[in-house]
Amino acid sequence: MADQHIRKVLNVGGNSKNIAIPSQYNGWQHMLLDIDPRGMPDIVCDARELMNMEANQYDAIYCSHNLEHYYRHDVYKVLRGFAHVLKVDGFVDIRVPDIEALMRTVVENKMDIDDFLYDSPAGPITVRDVIYGYGVEIERSGNDFFAHKTGFSPISLQNILNECGFPIVLVSVGNIEVAALAFKENPTDYVKNLFSLPTT
């Protein structure tokens, strides 16, 4: 019999529902949480305050290029909040810039901080943008929250997730980005199929 459960994903810091989330969440109930009400989020909230929300209510948390906008000591608050609102068998899907890969790229290619790295949907991205935040958006919005206040390597992201209640973390890298799937307990068969994870 098919699983009829309607799963809920909390998109933390996603800005607007006009910005697509991965196809794995097609058919899920998509709840957007953001500190900025202009993107019309379902929940207007500072992600550092998630411990004040009801516990164990989401099947997944999707957080793409948001964690780097907090000081390191606040990242602990955000991730512990993720563990709080996530169901026991749920998971966290995180994407952050890969500072280790960035440094390697800059050194190997003798790049300047203002050199072009790649094109994004928002526009061209420089070395400075990856380190300090997308300057065009910071200037346009006048919102310093868009600035980057910390950074991650694959190892540092895994370690901080472990410290914040996620003993199982699967990390992948590519395109100057670290992606992590983090679990409070062993992933379910459903999640293994969803992300094509090993079944053993």
Q: Let me know how long the chain is.
A: 200
Q: What domains are there in the chain, each with its CATH number?
A: 8-99+151-194 (3.40.50.150)
The pLDDT tens digits of the residues spanning 146-178 come to 899 999 999 999 999 999 999 999 999 999 999
The fraction of the chain above a pLDDT of 90, given in percent, is 88
Q: Of 91, 85, 89, 88, nearest to 55 (Cα)?
A: 85
Integer Cα distance of 30 and 78 in angstroms: 19
Instruction: Say if pTM beats, i.e. exceeds, 0.85.
Output: yes
